[in-house]
Chain A
């Protein structure tokens, strides 16, 4: 008897499904060039073959993409969609909380991002705390439960935050609504550094306690395990490279500070998030080996964003930093393709470089590039099909596949929308009939 291996049982695998072939498409592989009039064969949720002259196997589902463009599903390295809560703002080190616990698989934001071509997203804690909560990588498997959203095997992360946001809780509020609330350390960038250093000093001590305990056990000695500390455990994982640091930052000074603190304690910053002044310290970022995930052209909404420039991504890329573009917004998330196009305008990136900012580069930053981020045989069949070149403002998403399964289809969405509107009208009429005094009463 053959027992299915673990890999076959994984959520990604639509194992009884017939193969799918997408054909007659312009295929933007991102890593292996552009294939005009090509085909993609999908089996068991994976890309089985990419190229020209691929025959559809018997019984295969065929998607005719004549005149259309296929690119890897977009990866957003910074999003808050589907998270029921964002900040645990009561403490400045909140590494004990995690986004995984508050994922809402029914959030309409998932569907809308999917309809914008996104297939994978890094869902982060907010930026109120110097050390925020644990984050999680998801696939936008709309319709599945919270567990099935999780990107299997992706390295977990943790959010850090520098600058104005973590300082805010320490500053008297100009808002009358918040006058009188207690102030919380830190209130300065100096304090932010201190909070992070104190936390890692503690984490090192905690790590040492556990090492000592394990050494004793290994030597066969009797030992009492240290009490688990849920705040410090994730930080020990950071020290041991098992959890990625995604650090919200804006100004060059704070970026440099964090890289120094990381060096001091012997860990790595995986990504600098936003990093709007990353262009000023690109060589230091590259030397540390941190990635940077930035906005295309946000600026001027706060002081630390006043030196933000739309050339940021291009400068950092030219200076050797692994760069991605993110949304941080349920709205912007639906059009990261045209955000990428802005790097061609501002900084002169090539089409492939621009596309890499929203595909293979964020995949590398999240260490999921063996699975997603480009169209290559062996990778997950996470694909977005556009009617025009995705770097054009006139392009619309036609279909989105995750693990080879169609999760968004524009034609279907349009026809279903009419049915849904009709159903809504029926329900509203019914409600009106049942409540003669409409508006006089509302459900509690």
Chain B
């Protein structure tokens, strides 16, 4: 029987390659149930087989002593472009945002680069799974960009030799960037990148037109679905409409990015009219529509907490308090970082919401189990429970606090290397003579 002590961040790989070990003498925070101040987790073939104060372990299993450490489920980031975008300003390193308005057939998963430097950097802070999005990462930016069905978002593990191995859900959601009504005052016309002024009436006309196009696209997809089911003569497969069938059948949810009040309200109505499942993403104006969102039953990927208020006369803490308002309204929500650069700071988005009224347990839940529920993978991810995939992080404290260190991470029972480009540069230059 072998014992391995954990004490440093950059440990060599220590668990058995087949993803089987007994983690014991550790404080367990299962999220799904009460904490165990001192318990054990048995992992076999990448899955959690047992969690408890006393766990019977097979003979010869590798034992990991977690003395002084805390076990949490790996964190889930519900909005990134990890694997698809490497260096923000360099087009050649970006594979988000395909040309064209309606691209439901595009699949983010197949463009995920498993060697992206963002993967080891992000997981070093305990993030084990992310949603990676095929289209623009934020509905709030890129003024004037056309609304699009950007393609299929993937839920991926931040570990694996290929994108196929990384996949948890190949098509976790269809990403829809909802149309926005955008006026542009004449004064800002001279600013860099700004075009000519757009009046309200013109903007409204363009907005209505885009909504019509979106509705038409869904209606056409529905006709396609019927024609296919009826084996109509002359039926020809179409990749665009084919990809819409799981959406129309309510198997795949639509991640709809709607930032402002009008877009959120119209997106909710659109979801109802089309009888599709929505996940409302980045609704920065959600505080104005809490009853409507609650009544819709749709879950929310909360806008970044660490964000400025939308309007000058909004409360200074508007973004900080939004998650607690969602919670009090009884709306299910998770957190996303809406980018790559700060994906590792996902737990701090949650913590900032705690400072402004969100219960700590709910904040932790929103980066673990609630996210898993929203993405339909709560049978596999999001908590430390029997039967789930062994995505486990071991920390020296509260994972939502910055100074806490992640000491060890397991993805599907495999110990994950916590070193990365940044730790390597640190060691190299700290030792420069």
Interface residues, chain A, with chain B CB atoms under 8 Å away = 108, 111-112, 115, 164, 174-175, 177, 279-280, 282-283, 297-303, 306-307, 309-311, 315, 318, 330-332, 335, 338, 341-342, 344-347, 388, 391-396, 413, 417, 420, 424, 439-440, 442
Contact = CB atoms under 8 A, between A and B. Distances in A.
Interface string B337-360: 000111011001001101110000
Contact of B118 (A298, A300, A331, A332): A300
A344 B422 CA distance: 16
A297 B425 contact: no
A220 B88 CA distance: 63
24 contacts: A112-B308, A177-B195, A279-B425, A282-B432, A297-B342, A297-B344, A299-B341, A300-B118, A300-B340, A302-B90, A303-B89, A307-B421, A309-B422, A315-B426, A315-B429, A318-B430, A335-B306, A335-B352, A342-B402, A344-B402, A393-B348, A393-B352, A394-B401, A413-B315
A391 B309 CA distance: 23
Contacts of A440: 201
Contact of B200 (A174, A413, A442): A442
A365 B403 CA distance: 26
B2 interface: no
Contact of A175 (B86, B87, B193, B313): B193
Contacts of B430: 311, 315, 318
Contacts of A417: 315
A300 B86 contact: yes
Interface string B61-81: 000000000000000000000
A331 B284 CA distance: 15
A394 B405 contact: no
A301 B351 contact: no
Interface string B291-332: 000000000000000111100110111000000000000000
A227 to B, nearest CB: 32
B354 A394 contact: yes
B426 A302 contact: no
Contacts of A300: 86-88, 117-118, 340-341
A112 B314 CA distance: 11
Contacts of B312: 108
B355 A395 contact: yes
Given A315-B426, A315-B430, A393-B401, A302 B88 contact: yes
Contacts of A310: 422
A111 B314 CA distance: 12
Contacts of B88: 300-302
A279 B402 contact: no
Contact of B426 (A311, A392, A420): A311
Indicate the size class of the contact surface on chain B: 35 or more
A345 B199 CA distance: 50
A317 to B, nearest CB: 11
Nearest to A413: B316
Contacts of B422: 299, 309-311
Interface string B184-211: 0000000001010001110010000000
A297 B345 contact: yes
B200 A301 contact: no
B403 A344 contact: yes
A439 B200 contact: yes
A282 B428 CA distance: 13
Contacts of A177: 193, 195
Contacts, number: 112
Contacts of B307: 331
Nearest to A338: B402
B340 A111 contact: no
B91 interface: yes
B400 interface: yes
A224 B88 CA distance: 55
A338 B317 CA distance: 16
Contact of A394 (B121, B351, B403): B351
Contacts of A331: 306-308
Contacts of A299: 121, 341, 422
Contacts of A306: 87, 117
Nearest to A347: B426
B429 A279 contact: yes
B89 A301 contact: yes
Contact of A345 (B89, B195, B317, B405): B405
Q: Which of B309, B315, B354 has the most chain A CB atoms closer than 10 A to its own CB? A: B315
A311 B195 CA distance: 41
Contacts of A388: 355
Given A297-B344, A299-B341, A424-B313, 17 more contacts: A112-B316, A115-B317, A175-B193, A279-B429, A283-B432, A300-B86, A311-B426, A341-B403, A344-B402, A345-B405, A393-B401, A394-B401, A395-B355, A413-B315, A413-B316, A439-B200, A439-B204
Nearest to B348: A393
Given A315-B426, A393-B348, A394-B351, A330 B308 contact: yes
B18 interface: no
Nearest to A440: B201
A307 B425 contact: yes
Contacts of A439: 200, 204
Contacts of B89: 164, 301-303
B404 interface: yes
Contacts of B426: 279, 309, 311, 315, 346-347
A306 B352 CA distance: 27
Contacts of A282: 429, 432
A174 B195 CA distance: 17
B402 A341 contact: yes
Nearest to A311: B426
A315 B431 CA distance: 10
Q: Which 4 A-B pairs have the closest CB atoms?
A: A393-B351, A301-B88, A302-B89, A341-B402
Nearest to A408: B316
A345 B404 contact: yes
Contact of B356 (A307, A318, A341, A396): A396
B359 to A, nearest CB: 12
B431 to A, nearest CB: 10
Contact of B354 (A344, A393, A424): A393
A393 B193 contact: no
Contacts of B423: 311
Nearest to A442: B200
Contact of B401 (A112, A392, A396, A413): A392
Contacts of B429: 279-280, 282, 315
Q: Which of A111, A392, A393 has the most chain B CB atoms closer than 10 A to its own CB? A: A393
A371 to B, nearest CB: 27
B316 A338 contact: no
Contacts of A303: 87, 89-90
Contacts of A112: 308-309, 316
A349 to B, nearest CB: 10
B91 A174 contact: yes
B355 A393 contact: yes
B289 to A, nearest CB: 16
Given A300-B340, A301-B87, A393 B402 contact: yes
Given A279-B429, A300-B117, A309-B425, A394 B355 contact: yes
Nearest to A174: B91
A323 to B, nearest CB: 15
Q: Which of A330, A335, A388 has the most chain B CB atoms closer than 10 A to its own CB? A: A335
A73 B83 CA distance: 40
A279 B432 CA distance: 10
Contacts of B201: 440
Contacts of A174: 91
B366 to A, nearest CB: 14
A111 B317 CA distance: 11
A380 B227 CA distance: 77
